[in-house]
Amino acid sequence: MKEEALKELETQLKKCRECKLCEFAKGTVGWFGCADTPIVFVGEGPGGVEDDYGCPLIGPSGQLLDKALWATKMTRDRVITTNVVKCRPKGNRTPNIAEADFCAQRWLDKELEILQPKVVVALGSVALHYLGNPDMRITRDRGKWFKTKQGFDCIATYHPAYLLRLADPHVLNHAKWEVFYDLEAARKKAEEAVPDYKFMSEEKTNLFKLFTKR
Ligand code: URA
C-alpha cells in the first residue's frame, strides 16, 4: 500500500515544474529504498551524479553514506534515502531556506506522510533546518533527538559531503565516529519500534546496477 502511494507520488513528482530549480536539472530526483522501512534518511538535494542517474545519494556522498550504513548494520535497499529538494540547483549550490521549504512542502512532507517512519535522520544543515528549525546548528544539535513538525522522531548527523571536505585526519576521524554513534542511535530507536524489521541485506546495494544514466 505504501509502495503504491509512493509510486503515484513519483509519477506526480516527475512532472513537477513548480519552481526554478528544475531549469538547470536533467530531471527530478526522488527517493530510493524500501517503503516499509521504519527509518528514512534525508539529504540536501541532488548533486551532479544524482542528476545524471535520477537516484538520490549515489555519488561520492552516497558512497560514503553507504559505508557508514554498512558499519551500523543497514543497507540502502532496506532504508529510504531522499532529499529536501528534488532538483539539482544550478552549479550545485546549497538550496536556500525558501527553496527548501517550497519543495519539501510539496514532496518530502508527502513522502513522510505516506511512509510514517519511526525515525528520520537529517543529513546536514539543510535537512536539519527544514525538519527542525532554521535556528538549529548541526555542530551543536547533531546527535540530539527532536520531533519534526509532523511529529516524527528525528536525529541529525553530519552530511557525508562535510566529511569529504575535512582535510585534518584527526578532525575527520572524530567526525566519522560521531556519525557512527548518531546512525547507531537511529537504528536502535527504529529497531525498538519495529524489532522484526531487517535493516540490512547480505550485500551492499549496488545503485549503479539499478540505475542508468539518463
Ligand atoms: N547530497 C545530498 O544531500 N543528496 C544527494 O542526493 C546527493 C548529494
pLDDT in tens, 67-81: 999 999 999 999 999
43: left (phi over 0), alpha (psi -120 to 50) or beta: beta
* Ligand 1 in reach of 66 Cβ (< 6 A): no
Best residue among 42, 61, 162, 211 to mutate for probing ligand 1, ranked by most atoms within 8 Å of CB: 61
- Number of other residues whose CB lies within 10 A of the CB of residue 149: 12
Give residue for cell 546549497.
94
State the pTM of this model. Answer: 0.98
Closest ligand 1 atom number to CA of residue 83: 4
Work out the average pLDDT over 113-134: 98
Distance 160 CA to ligand 1 centre (A): 9
Distance between CA 101 and CA 112 in Å, rounded? 15
Band the pLDDT of 48: cuts 50, 70, 90. Answer: very high
Q: What is the pLDDT of residue 125?
A: 98
